[in-house]
Amino acid sequence: MLGRLADTLEHYMDMVAARQKLVASNIANADTPGYKTRDIDFQFEFLSQVRGGSPQVVEPAGLSTKNDGNNVSLDREARLLAENAMRFNLAAALLKSQIRNVRAAIQDGKTG
């Protein structure tokens, strides 16, 4: 009933949630020897996700590796947490707006 925008927002929010889990896992393993940071190529995967499917997890290139083989950067992961929160809040606000519009149309239809 909400249309294609709502479906797209739902997929977007699912992908943000998947990325949030990866970031949390990266932070939890910041001191695990040999652990490699995992992420989602957000732009590529968003376009793919609109067509359906699960996001592909990748190891980001260019991260410096510590002596124990771990390449988690807590600064990077903290930035990604904040970015994900912003993305999710924006999508939720857009979805709320869509729902409000549908409710208003229903109410107008009842009184008209």
What pLDDT, on the 0 to 100 scale, is given for residue 83? 92
Distance CA 77, CA 108 (A): 46
Rounded to two decimals, the pTM is 0.70
**The tokens of 32 are what?**
């695990």
Could you read off the pLDDT tens digit of each residue along the chain, which spans 112 residues? Answer: 567 777 788 888 888 898 999 999 999 999 999 999 999 887 777 777 666 666 788 899 999 999 999 999 999 999 999 999 999 999 899 888 888 888 888 887 776 5
